[in-house]
């Protein structure tokens, strides 16, 4: 099965990057329109992007302050049962981010589109962590 992977450096403390990946406010500022959930094992996050995209994911792994993985339990067909997550490590005052979206059935058209979108969204996360820049939801790809 193909996996999407991204590795990049964020010039911000690891605690801030973890918060932006896991908190409602943080997620809403770079990915979702609205979300709810907590970075706790078996917690269900709601990722809301609009009426047609009201998804849920279960926290299946968490190492507080460093790692988190969600398993999609309600989403479009291509995303069902995929896992989305990240691992953070400190790097000379910055944070090294390893992001993954794994378990895709095939590397088809939607996989390619999603990979491109993740790159843009993760750049938004980086800019938000480093300088507070927020791209309005309607302008995110």
Q: Which domains does the chain have, with CATH numbers?
A: 4-139 (3.30.530.20)
Residue with tokens 């918060």: 19
The full length of the chain comes to 141
Q: Is 14 helix (H, G, I), strand (E, B) or coil?
A: helix
pLDDT band at 18 (very low <50, low <70, confident <90, very high): very high
pLDDT score of 122: 98
Q: Is 15 helix (H, G, I), strand (E, B) or coil?
A: helix
The pLDDT of residue 81 is above 90: no
- Do 128 and 20 form a contact (C-beta atoms < 8 A)? yes
Cβ neighbours of residue 52 closer than 8 Å, sequence gap 6 or more:
none
User: What's the average model confidence in pLDDT over 25-35?
Assistant: 97
Taking the model in full, what pTM does it have? 0.95
- Do 9 and 94 form a contact (C-beta atoms < 8 A)? yes
């Amino acid at each position: 099965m193909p996996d999407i992977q991204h590795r990049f450096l964020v010039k911000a403390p690891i605690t801030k990057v973890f918060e932006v990946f896991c908190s409602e406010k943080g997620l809403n500022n770079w990915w979702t329109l609205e979300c709810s959930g907590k970075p706790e094992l078996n917690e269900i996050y709601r990722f809301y992007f609009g009426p047609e995209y009201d998804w849920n994911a279960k926290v299946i792994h968490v190492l507080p302050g460093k790692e988190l993985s969600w398993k999609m339990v309600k989403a479009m067909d291509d995303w069902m049962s995929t896992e989305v997550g990240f691992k953070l490590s400190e790097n000379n005052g910055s944070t090294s981010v390893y992001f993954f979206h794994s378990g895709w059935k095939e590397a088809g058209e939607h996989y390619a589109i999603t990979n491109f979108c993740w790159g843009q969204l993760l750049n938004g996360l980086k800019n938000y962590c480093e300088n507070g820049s927020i791209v309005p939801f309607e302008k995110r790809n």
